[in-house]
Amino acid sequence: MIKLWQGYETSISYDELLETAKTPRPVAKKLYHYINSLTEEDIKARKQSAEATIKQMGISFTVYSQGQNIDRAWPFDIIPRTISRSTWDKVSSGLKQRLKAINLFIDDLYHDQKVIKDGIIPKELIQKSKNFRKECVGLAPPLNIWAHICGTDLVRDNDGEFYVLEDNLRVPSGVSYMLENRSITKRIFPELFETMKIEPINNYTSELFDMLSSLSPRKRSNPVVVVLTPGIFNSAYFEHAYLAQQMGAELVEGSDLTVEKDDCVYMKTIAGLERVDVIYRRIDDLYLDPECFLKESVLGCPGLMRAWKKGNVAIANAPGAGVADDKVIYAFMPKIIKYYLDQDPIINNVETWLCLDKKHRQHVINNIEELVVKPANESGGYGILIGPNSTKKERETVIAQIKNNPRNFIAQPTLAISTAPCLVEKGAIEPRHLDLRPFVLQGKKLFVTTGGLTRVAMKKGSLVVNSSQGGGSKDTWIVDKED
Amino acid sequence: MLSRVAERIYWTARYLDRIENTARLIDVYHKLMLDLPLGASFSWYGLITLNQSETLFKKSYKNEDERSIIKFFLGDKQNPSSIISSLKQVRENIRTTRDTLPEFIWILINEMSLFVEKNLHQGINRNQRIEFLDGIIHSCFQIKGLLLSTMPMSDAWYFMVIGRKIERADMTTRLLYAGAKAHFQLEEQGPTINSHQLVWGNILQTLGALQAYRKATRYAVVSEKVVHYLLEDPYLPSSISHCIHAIHTSCDHLPKKKPVIDLIESVEKNLFRSMNYRKLEEPFREYLHRLQLQIAKIHQGISDNWFPQYENDKYDNDKHNNRKSENKKHTHEQLKSNG
């Protein structure tokens, strides 16, 4: 339906699917022509079918608002995003390189701190880091791996290149939605899977399970792996349950676990206590163990850290790994890669100013109208100031906050992040901004998902993709050469 | 299997059975009301007494009319045993035990929730009530069929059976109680109504047991025969005898079973000893009351032996358990922590 594309703008930023409104990129050629072969009614019907599927499959996320938990249907745009195999191969090796370096960096921070001694990272950065855990100093987790699972946010700038926006190492979520997005698309566009070479993505959960099993302190063929969730109120509960189910692992809450006198972790079963080998935790460090961190936390299990320190249980990601998940550390990532691997980064960072640095700070304050200012340790899009869309009052508040605690802020240029066609409310197709979150696993080997979770800012012109703030998502296709 | 999961699966089964029972009960009651001669002093309010919900009902409703009562049972969120509340409990329980139950049950329960949400008004209004209730009963059959055909006979399966049978036994005692009461109520109105057929026939139908009764007894529908059948028949899925036996054999498959087995055996020994089929008035009601206490005792034994023990507010083993106490334990502190 050519009409649908009328007035489609490809000049605002790099468009993932189209070169111009009438010319698709080679990787999206078949998809484009296919959509054009559909009638308006066809498209509407597919969209309805996607929505019905989402409800039936109970794909939801939880928003917490006005003291209530609201379960919302997952917002999904039916037009997939395409990326070519060759582009992806490069991104994929860049992500592996990055996680490898991050891990060496974390391990170094908790041991000799050579990176500080050699003057690569300023000492006070680590001293003031909210996510540095002194309880972890000197520890050696299994295989010396701290960062097992990473969700890296990528954006594509005007030049068509991918850039890393942030590394999520604490409890990154979204992978279940990536998998569910694919199952929805398979239902609504089966024809395309026959004609296009779309790479499958369904091996993630088995890779995750293998990686987790390989961490087991007891060498046995079927270690007990559990997913530790904060419970049903958590916004990512759907994902916790989904992953446990797909892996055949036990989904546990803190109250299901106990650490006994032998410093081993057990779960309370109908047959009594059963020892746990590996915990895939979806709880932040500080809530993990009231004995060690926040005393009032009821989400974790007292004694967990004791058991972990003794090597009686593996925890992924390791406690303390979040130290590298910090937007200030992020700015040093190119140097970190160079330092540990003696390589140049395959994927670049976005240019970043550190408010900690006096010159940078002044630059940020002077140019705040054009910059994006981010707090160093928030996630979910909270606390971000987008300069061009801000009011004077908002800017003044942030400037005061920066002056008050410069370590806590960074700034980046407002990127013209890429767009892709989306089916919008009124039934037309319009460009919307998006990012990409691939997931990287690190055990004995490194693994990157084929593509990742594409998040879309569903509001026209908006750059905020977080689902908690009105973002949507799309299926992401890594497509081998089109004939 | 985690104790917490065992408990949730047990309650999933109970609530599922409760939904089916409630739907059948209203279905049969609806049809029964149509059969009654005009002027018979028999009202919808009987459903409220049957479920011992008088206080709760009076809190929200002024009139004891059909519409209020149907609303109370189908769509009242304040009534923890209403279909809509039970369904919500089932869905939450399945959501929190998705890693243990067959994958497809999640889809079925979502479909059922969507169906009820969309068609609730049909059930409350009279003209399409039967279709609505049929839809619910079909969904329950579908879920049970799924479990039967895909679920491994492991611990989770046995907790499912136990939950279902406890709920069913409870329902059967309630129906027997209501039946006896209605029977005498109608007999007082004179011989124009065949109260045996009307009351006990409908009770058998509520339990889906009319055809089975005829086959098994080859006898007309008369009160003492029906009561005997519903209490002691070893083959009927809703009979007390069968339910207790099924609970017994299911518990037998579980670990650490001894205290529960001992308890059930002691209950079984005296189950029908004090029953006198010739006196279906006061002594029978007392008997049923004792029977309910025995069923509650078995529930308590199972809970003490296998379910998590809560320090502060111990689970009340009341039928209207709606799990609130447990959920309160979780705080909202982690809501924003995910990226």
Q: CA-CA distances (angstroms) from residue A360 to A130, A167, A373, A410?
A: 22, 22, 12, 9
B91 to A473, B57, B88, B94, B324: CA distances (angstroms): 25, 25, 5, 5, 14
Which residues 6+ apart lie within 8 Å of A91 measured at CB?
A154, A162, A347, A438
- Which contiguous run of DSSP H or E holds residue B90? helix B83-95
Residue identified by tokens 């479909």 is: B111
Q: CB-based contacts of A184: which residues, under 8 Å, 6+ apart?
A: A50, A53, A54, A57, A59, A76, A475
Question: Which residue matches tokens 């005692």?
Answer: B173
Are residues B14 and B319 in contact, defined by beta-carbon separation less than 8 angstroms? Answer: no
Residue A150 has pLDDT above 80, yes or no: yes
* CB within 8 Å: B255 and A173: no
Q: What pLDDT is stored for residue B199 in this prediction?
A: 87
- pLDDT at residue B338, rounded to an integer: 35
Q: What phi and psi, each to the nearest 5 degrees, are found at residue A11?
A: -90, -15
CA nearest B5: which of B124, B99, B104? B99
Nearest CB to A269; choose among B1, B331, B333: B1
Size of the A and B interface in Cβ pairs below 8 Å: 128
Q: Which residue of B has its CA nearest to A382?
A: B336
Q: What residues contact A221, with CB distance under 8 A and at least 6 apart?
A: none
Q: Are strands A371-375 and A385-386 parallel, antiparallel or unpaired?
A: antiparallel
| Partner B contacted by A70 (CB < 8 A) | no
B240 pLDDT more than 90: yes
Nearest residue, CB atoms, B333 vs list A168, A299, A380: A299
Is the pLDDT at B31 greater than 50, yes or no?
yes
Given the structure tokens 């502060």, which residue do they identify? Answer: B312
Instruction: Note whether A70 and A232 are within 8 A (CB).
Output: no
Q: Between helices B282-306 and B155-187, what is the axis angle to 10°?
A: 160
What the block records as the tokens of A332 is: 């040093």
Contact A168, A153 (CB under 8 A): yes
pLDDT, mean of residues A161-180: 93
The tens digit of pLDDT for each residue in B272-284 reads: 998 988 888 888 9
* Domain ranges within chain A, ordered by starting residue: 351-413
Which residue is it, tokens 């032998």? A262
Tell me which chain A residues have a C-beta less than 8 angstroms from the C-beta of B89. none
Give the pairing type, strands A278-281 and A225-229. parallel
Helix (H, G, I), strand (E, B) or coil at A251: strand
Does residue B314 register a pLDDT over 50?
no
> Are A58 and B95 an interchain contact pair (Cβ–Cβ within 8 Å)?
yes
DSSP state of A162: E
The reply to whether A233 touches chain B by the CB within 8 Å rule is yes
Residues A461, A466, A471: CA angle, nearest 5 degrees = 55
DSSP β-ladder status, A348-349 and A162-168: parallel
- A414 alpha carbon, distance to own chain's centre: 20
Of the pLDDT bands very low, low, confident and very high (cuts 50, 70, 90), residue A381 is low
Q: Which residue has the higher pLDDT, B228 or B43?
A: B228
pLDDT by residue (tens digit) across B262-275? 999 999 998 999 89
In chain A, which residues have their Cβ closer than 8 Å to the Cβ of B337? Answer: 170-171, 230, 234, 283-284, 287, 379
Contact B99 A252 (CB under 8 A): no
Q: Region A462-474: what's the mean pLDDT?
A: 83
Tell me which chain A residues have a C-beta less than 8 angstroms from the C-beta of B95: 58, 232, 237, 241
Distance CA A245, CA B100 (A): 7
How far is CA A338 from each of CA A306, A332, B229, rounded to the nearest angstrom? 35, 10, 82
Taking the Cβ of residue A433 and every Cβ of chain B, the question of whether any pair is shorter than 8 Å is answered with no
User: Considering chain A, what is the average pLDDT of its residues?
Assistant: 92
Strands (E), A38-148: 60-65, 68-73, 76-84
pLDDT for B44 equals: 87
Write down the pTM of the prediction. 0.88
| Number of C-beta neighbours around residue B55 at 10 A | 8
pLDDT for residue A1: 55
**Residue A248 and residue B99: Cβ atoms within 8 Å?**
yes
Query: Please, which pLDDT band fits residue A2 given cuts at 50, 70 and 90?
Result: low
pLDDT band at residue B332 using 50, 70 and 90 as cut-offs: very low
Q: What is the pLDDT of residue B319?
A: 36
Task: Specify whether the CB–CB gap between A168 and A380 falls below 8 A.
Answer: no
Per-residue confidence (pLDDT) for residue B315, from 0 to 100: 40
The pLDDT tens digits of the residues spanning B89-131 come to 999 899 888 888 998 999 999 999 999 999 999 999 888 999 9
The answer, yes or no, to whether residue A184 has pLDDT greater than 50, is yes
Q: Which residue of A has its CA nearest to B156?
A: A270
Query: Residues of B with CB below 8 A from A275's CB?
Result: none
Tokens in use for A287? 């809530």
pLDDT digits (tens, 9 = 90+) for A195-238: 999 999 989 999 999 999 999 999 888 999 999 999 888 888 88
Of residues A61 and A319, the one with the higher pLDDT is A319
Q: Rounded to 5 degrees, what are φ and ψ at B62?
A: -90, -45
Q: Give the pLDDT of residue B155.
A: 95
Cβ atoms < 10 Å from Cβ of A338: 14
User: What does the alpha-carbon distance between residue A226 and residue A212 come to, in Å, rounded to a whole number?
Assistant: 9
Give the DSSP per-residue string, A356-407.
Answer: TSHHHHHHHHHTGGGEEEEESS--TTTT-EEGGG--HHHHHHHHHHHHH-GG
What confidence score (pLDDT) does residue B35 get?
78
Both structure tokens of B117 = 């949400």
Q: Pick the residue with more confidence: B327 or B189?
A: B189
* Angle, CA A87 vertex, CA A82 and CA A88 arms, to 5°: 75
Secondary structure of residue A453 in the 3-state scheme: strand
- The pLDDT, as a whole number, for residue A366 is 94
Hey, of B91, B99, B115, which one would you mutate to test binding to chain A, going by the most A CBs within 10 A of its CB?
Answer: B99
Measured between CB atoms, does A300 come within 8 Å of chain B? no
- Report the distance separating Cα A303 and Cα A259, nearest Å: 6
Q: Tell me the CATH number of domain A351-413, given options 3.30.1490.270, 3.40.50.1980, 3.40.228.10, 3.20.20.140.
A: 3.30.1490.270
Does A284 sit within 8 Å of B335, measured CB to CB?
A: no
pLDDT digits (tens, 9 = 90+) for B197-227: 888 998 999 899 999 999 999 999 999 999 9
Q: Is the pLDDT of residue A346 over 80?
A: yes
Six token digits for residue B289: 């009351």
Task: Please report which confidence band the pLDDT of residue A482 belongs to, taking 50, 70 and 90 as the band edges.
Answer: low
Going by their DSSP bridges, the two strands A76-84 and A471-479 should be labelled as: parallel
Torsion of CA A77, A80, A83, A88, to 10 degrees: 70
Span A181-206, average pLDDT: 93
- Using the beta-carbon criterion (under 8 Å), do B338 and A64 form an inter-chain contact? no
Give the separation between CA A437 and CA A446, rounded to whole angstroms: 16
